[in-house]
Every structure is written in C-alpha cells, then in structure tokens.
Structure 1
Amino acid sequence: MRYRRFGKTNLFLSVFSLGTMRCLASESVLEQTLQQAIALGINHVETARGYGKSEQFLGRALKAGLPVPREQIFIMTKLPPTTDAGQMRQWLEQSLVNLQLDYIDCLAIHGINTWEHLGWITQENGGMQAIREAMSEGKIRHLGFSTHGSLELILAAINTDLFEFVNLHYYYFFQRHEKAIALAHQKDMGVFIISPADKGGRLYTPPETLERLCQPFSPLELNYRFLLGDRRITTLSIGPANPEELIDPLEVSDRDYPLTASEMAALERLETHLVQTLGTDRCGQCYRCLPCPEEINIPEVLRLRNLAVAYDMTDFGQYRYRMFENAGHWFPGNKASRCTECGECLPRCPEQLDIPRLLLDTHQRLNGSPRRRLWE
C-alpha cells in the first residue's frame, strides 16, 4: 500500500480508502471488512449519516478494537448542508455518539450539489457556525465537501477557501472535472475520488468489447492506474460488500507511479475505438448544448450513449440513465424522452450533432425500470 499527503490536512492517507456504504448486510460483515482493510494497509475509512446504519456499525466495530492504534486510522463522515446551526450541532453530536468517537478526523459537507446548497454553506451563521464551533472544540479536525454537482459549482465551492479536501467524481470515462482536480491541487486540497469502480463504469463486470480493448489490463485495473498515475489525486474509494471484494482492487495499491507505455497505449486504443465507432455521432462533451429548456442533461445522456455504442457498456448506461428523474439533485436532469425537438441546442453544438435524434436513440437503448441511490 502506498500513502499520499491529503493536501493541507497533512494527513497521509492510503491510496485506497474503505467506503462503508455497501457493508450494510450486517454488523459482522462491516467489522470483518474493516479488519481486513486495515490488515491490507488501508488507513482511511469513510461513512455518512445518510448511509443507513453505517455509522452505528462502524462505531461498534471501532469500539471492538483495531489491530492498530486509533490515531493511525482516519475516519471521515459526512453530514448534509443546512442553514440551521442547531440542526447541524445535533447531527454532529449524533455522529460522534454513533461512531463512539471523541473526534472526527475529516468531516465532509455531504452533497454540495446545487447553488442553493453552496449559498447555505457560505452564510455567516447557519450550519457552518456549528461546524466552526466543533472544530474549535477539537471535535472535528478537518473540513471538506463532497459533490455530485456541476463543474462550475465545484469550482465555486473550492474557491470559497472554506475546505481542506474535496470528494468528487472523476474517472477515465468521465474527465469533465479535470479543472476541479487542477484547482484543488493548486489550493493544496486533498482529492478523494468517489466510486471509481461503480460510477466509473461498473468496471467490475465489464463487457467483452471493453475487456478486449483494455488488454493486457482489466478495465478496472486500467481505470485505477489512470487515477493513481495522477499525483494530484490522494485516494480512491473502494466500496466492498464483504472482505473478499477488497482483494482485486488492492492488487494495484503499490502502483502509484506514472502511466507506463503499455498503459498509455491501451488508453489510446480506447480513444481511437471511440472515435472510429461513433463517427459523426460522437459527443465530445463540451457542454455547450446546455441549458436545455426541458432540463435534459444532454451531455450526460450522450456520454452514456457514447459508452454504450463504442464499448457495449449498455448495462452501465442503463444503470445510470434510469436514475434520471429518480435521484433528485444527486443525479439531476430529465430523461431524453422529454425532448420537444425545439432545436435550441443545435446551433450551439460545435460538432453539428443531430441532438434530438441522438437523445431519442439513447432513450430507446437505455430506458427501463427506475433506479434509486443504493441506501434508498
């Protein structure tokens, strides 16, 4: 296991972090997973108030005893943004009770996903007042935020200079947030990548086409290496459902050097195949088509189409597409079937895509039963 400095927190975190959202089958499963993770060198554990009984399970597992001193394990929990200082104080105290801890190493504001959320956080009083008090009392050591919001929103949140770290989405198959990575690095913030296996493309069950293009690497391995080769990134989340699911990801935990020639060749092969397969229907993800009057997240819809058509990542595309209109601000936007063919997006597209046709095609490929967030 390799370790990196988590920005201005000056904590040295393992390059893989244990996320506990999926360890909810039972208390014993979480305890076994935690023990195995620590044995394999992980020293950063992440939970949230919103993850069912995760905080309580983790608290009891910590209380049962660890193979290393508490000071060598860094705990992150997350609380939602609020304008109510009293509510935030209550949540903080409850999280400390749940976790059976005297202090939280890293607290993240969970889901600064809208401009309204950001406004709540930048208020002089409100929830941030309670957090400042808790930090002065030593109950919180470091403050950051997680986000599923737009690039512009993430940049604005980073530029408040209120935070020491950021948890965000960024993968080989979703590089939109590279500017946020760059700005966070410039401001010496820790960078924690959320769900690189699952939201990064469901890479633990890749389609045959994707496997073939990534050879001699697995798609999951190549995505991990794409991230670990970037020194601006501190740590990647693993969300195992049991101890056994730690094994394969951690095989690359000592490979945090720059990408090799063969790895770069595989990534170039993926890009070439994307361009050749999609031809003039390829969306380059410039986002100039927005805003859409029907609130369709056109770039994300067409990104999912890119992946389904080029790499047969239909299962992943369906998984994400079905969350539109079902996950609120965690995955905003309406389904492509709401397109009225108004044509407002067409002159803004530098690639002159027939966007209404591609939206309809995506809906036909990927629509189905609605999906919700895991803990719901």
Structure 2
Amino acid sequence: MRYRRFGKTNLELSVFSLGTMRCLESVSTFAETLEQAIALGINHIETAKGYGKSEDYLGSSLKNLSIPREKFYLTTKLSPTSDTQQMTRWIDESLSRLKLDYIDCIALHGVNTWDHLAWITSDDGCMKALQQAKQAGKINHIGFSTHGSLDLILATLETNLFEFINLHYYYFFQRHASAVQLAYEKDMGIFIISPSDKGGRLYTPPPTLKNLCEPLTPLELNYRFLLSDRRITTLSIGPTTPKELLEPLQVSNNVSPLTESEKTILERLENHLQTILGKEQCRQCYQCLPCPESINIPEILRLRNLAVGYEMTDFAQYRYRMFENAGHWFAGNKGNRCTECGDCLPRCPENLDIPTLLSDTHQRLNGSSRRRLWE
C-alpha cells in the first residue's frame, strides 16, 4: 500500500480508502471487512450520518476489534444546514455513535445547491458549528463532498473554508478536471469517491469494454488513470464483504505515471468512441445549458455515449433512472421532457440533433426508477 499527503491536513492517507456505504449486511460482516482493510494497509475510513447504520456499525467494530486509534483516520459526513445548533447536535451524535473522542475529518455531505453554499458562508450557518467543534478538539479537519455543478464546486473551493474535497472524477467522467486542479492549487486533499461504481460499474464491465481495455481490466485502467495523477490523494473502495477488497488493492502499489501501453489503451478507447458514435458524439462542452425544461442534457448524452459506444448499458440505465428520483443528488429531468423548443440547438458546436438524441436515450435507458442506496 502506498500513502500520500492529504493536502493541507498533512495526514498521510493510504491511496485507497474504505468507504462504508455498502457494507451494511450485518455488523459482523462490517467488522470482518474493516479488520481486513486495516490488515491490508488501508488507514482511512469513510462513513456518514446518512449511511443507514454505518456509523453505529463502525463505532461498534472499532471498539470490539480494539483497533488502536493511531492505526486509522476517520472521515464522517454531515449534511449542510442553516441551523448552527443542529450541526452541533449532529457532531456530538456522530461522536457518540462512533465511540470516539474526536473525528479526524468531517465533510459537509452534498454541497449540491447554491442554497447549501449560502448556508455555509452565512454568519450563523453550519460552518460556525464546525469551526467551534474544531476549536474544542472534537474534529481536526473540515472538507466537503459534492454532487453539484462544476460552477458550484469551483465557487465552494474559492471560499477557502475547506481543507479537502470528496469528488466525482474518473476516466469516463472528466467534467471536474478543473476542480481537481483548483483544489490542488489550494493544497487541498482530494478524495475520489466511488470510482468503481459511479465511475462506470466497472466491476461488471460489458464484453466490448473489456476487450478495449486488454490486457488490463476496465477497473484496473480507471484506477491507474487516477492513481497516476499525483494531485489525487486517495480513492474509495465500497466493499460489501472482505473479499471485495482484494481486486482493487492489486494495484495499490502502482502509483507511477501512465505507461505507454496504458496510454495506448486510452487512445484506443477514444478512437473507438469516435468511430461508433460519429457525428452523434456529445463532447461534453455543456454549452447546451441551461435547458428551459431543466433537462441535464450533457449528462444524458454522456450516458448515451457510454451505452452506444462501449455497450455500458447497464451502468447508463442505472444512472439515467435516477433522474427525477434523487433530488439534488442527481439533478435534472429525463429526456422525454424535451418540448423540442430548439433553444439548445444553436449553442451546440457539434450541431447535434439534441431533441432526437434525448428521445433516443430515453427509449434506450428508461425503466423502473432508482433511488439512492440507503433510501
């Protein structure tokens, strides 16, 4: 296992972190997974108030396993709120559930809207409670996670209130590249969340994608894309059992720059996408927004790119079906809401027939609704 400095926190974190959102089958399985992670060199554990019984399971497991406090760093996450006293209560409740005297890192969980940012920057919002808790020794470092727009993420970074960021950024989703760079320039720790699942459900890749990535697996390639980037500190793994730790950690020592062979694979992926999609490829410039019907056009067409170009239909359906069902965690309406008003058409530098592509995507990917895991 390799370790990297987590920005200005100066914590030395393992390049893989144990995410506990999915390890909720039972407290015994949770404890086994935690014990295995520590044994394999993982020293950073991530949980959240909103992850069901995760904090309870983690607190019980840490106590029962008698893991020395110096063996791990822990991040938990609490939702933004405009109520200072509520945030203070939440911090104390998390400490109680985790059975700890202090928490290494607290991230505001889901700075996803401009209202959330306003609550943070107000004189009496949640940041006041976090700073008071830090002064009291209850927490050591403050960061944030986000599923928001790039503009919102950059604005949040520019507040200079945070020491680290939990961010979605992968080979198949590079929209947040400028946020990675800005966070790095501000010496913030960068924690990439859900690279195997939100990064493309790469643990169950389709045959086309597998063939394009050989001799690596798609999962290995995505990990290498991220680990080769020295700006990034750590990647989350979200196992449900101890066994699911093994495959990701096979690359935990390989943090060197991309090899020529790996660069060739990435070039092959890009060429294949261009060949298959041709003039229907959305290049993710986001100039089509805003949409009068609040359709997240670029994300919908990104999912179409992946489904048509790489046959990543299972992943694309999984994400598409969250539209209109996950609130600000996955904002935007589905493609069938398009009224063919034409507002987006003159703004598209690729001259895409966006209404037709939205309709096609809806037909390909719509189905039963999906909600967030712990709902």
Shorter chain as denominator, the TM-score bin is: over 0.9
- Contact kept in structure 2, 1:13 and 1:234, CA below 8 Å: yes
2: distance between equivalents of 1:279 and 1:296?
Answer: 23
Per the alignment, in what secondary structure is the counterpart of residue 113 of structure 1?
coil
What amino acid maps onto 1:280 in structure 2? K
Alignment correspondent of 1:63: 63
- Contact kept in structure 1, 2:35 and 2:65, CA below 8 Å: no
TM-score for both structures, normalised by structure 2: 0.99
Give yes or no for the alignment of 1:230 onto 2:229: yes
Q: What is the root-mean-square deviation of aligned Cα atoms in Å?
A: 0.6
Per-residue Cα deviation, 1:17-47 (whole angstroms, up to 9, x for no partner): 0000001010011100000000000000000
Query: What is the CA distance between 1:196 and its match in structure 2?
Result: 0.2
What amino acid maps onto 1:118 in structure 2? L
- Contact kept in structure 2, 1:35 and 1:66, CA below 8 Å: no
TM-score for both structures, normalised by structure 1: 0.99
2: distance between equivalents of 1:313 and 1:199?
Answer: 12
Alignment correspondent of 1:51: 51
What amino acid maps onto 1:93 in structure 2? D
2: distance between equivalents of 1:199 and 1:288?
Answer: 24
Per-residue Cα deviation, 1:148-196 (whole angstroms, up to 9, x for no partner): 0011100000010000000010000000000000000000000000100
Give yes or no for the alignment of 1:4 onto 2:1: no
Query: What is the CA distance between 1:127 and its match in structure 2?
Result: 1.4
What amino acid maps onto 1:208 in structure 2? P
Paired residues for 1:145-294 under 5 Å:
145-294=144-293
% identical equivalent positions: 71
Alignment correspondent of 1:106: 105
Per the alignment, in what secondary structure is the counterpart of residue 65 of structure 2?
coil
Segment of structure 1 superposing worse, 282-291 or 126-135? 126-135
Per the alignment, in what secondary structure is the counterpart of residue 250 of structure 2?
helix
1: distance between equivalents of 2:125 and 2:208?
Answer: 51
For structure 1, the 5+ residue unaligned runs are none
Alignment correspondent of 2:347: 348
Alignment correspondent of 2:27: 27
1: distance between equivalents of 2:233 and 2:38?
Answer: 18
1: distance between equivalents of 2:213 and 2:125?
Answer: 49
Per-residue Cα deviation, 1:289-346 (whole angstroms, up to 9, x for no partner): 0000000000000000000000000000000000000000000000000000000000
Alignment correspondent of 2:38: 38
Alignment correspondent of 1:132: 131
Alignment correspondent of 1:334: 333
What amino acid maps onto 1:162 in structure 2? L
Query: What is the CA distance between 1:126 and its match in structure 2?
Result: 2.0
2: distance between equivalents of 1:93 and 1:5?
Answer: 28
Query: What is the CA distance between 1:125 and its match in structure 2?
Result: 1.6
1: distance between equivalents of 2:154 and 2:169?
Answer: 14
- Contact kept in structure 1, 2:77 and 2:108, CA below 8 Å: yes
- Contact kept in structure 2, 1:170 and 1:176, CA below 8 Å: yes
1: distance between equivalents of 2:20 and 2:264?
Answer: 34
Alignment correspondent of 2:114: 115
- Contact kept in structure 2, 1:85 and 1:129, CA below 8 Å: yes
What amino acid maps onto 2:178 in structure 1? K
2: distance between equivalents of 1:116 and 1:85?
Answer: 15
Aligned pairs, how many?
375
- Contact kept in structure 1, 2:279 and 2:352, CA below 8 Å: yes
What amino acid maps onto 2:34 in structure 1? L
Query: What is the CA distance between 1:66 and its match in structure 2?
Result: 4.0
What amino acid maps onto 1:309 in structure 2? V
2: distance between equivalents of 1:120 and 1:362?
Answer: 36
For structure 2, the 5+ residue unaligned runs are none
What amino acid maps onto 1:38 in structure 2? I
1: distance between equivalents of 2:3 and 2:198?
Answer: 24
What amino acid maps onto 1:176 in structure 2? R
Per the alignment, in what secondary structure is the counterpart of residue 64 of structure 1?
helix
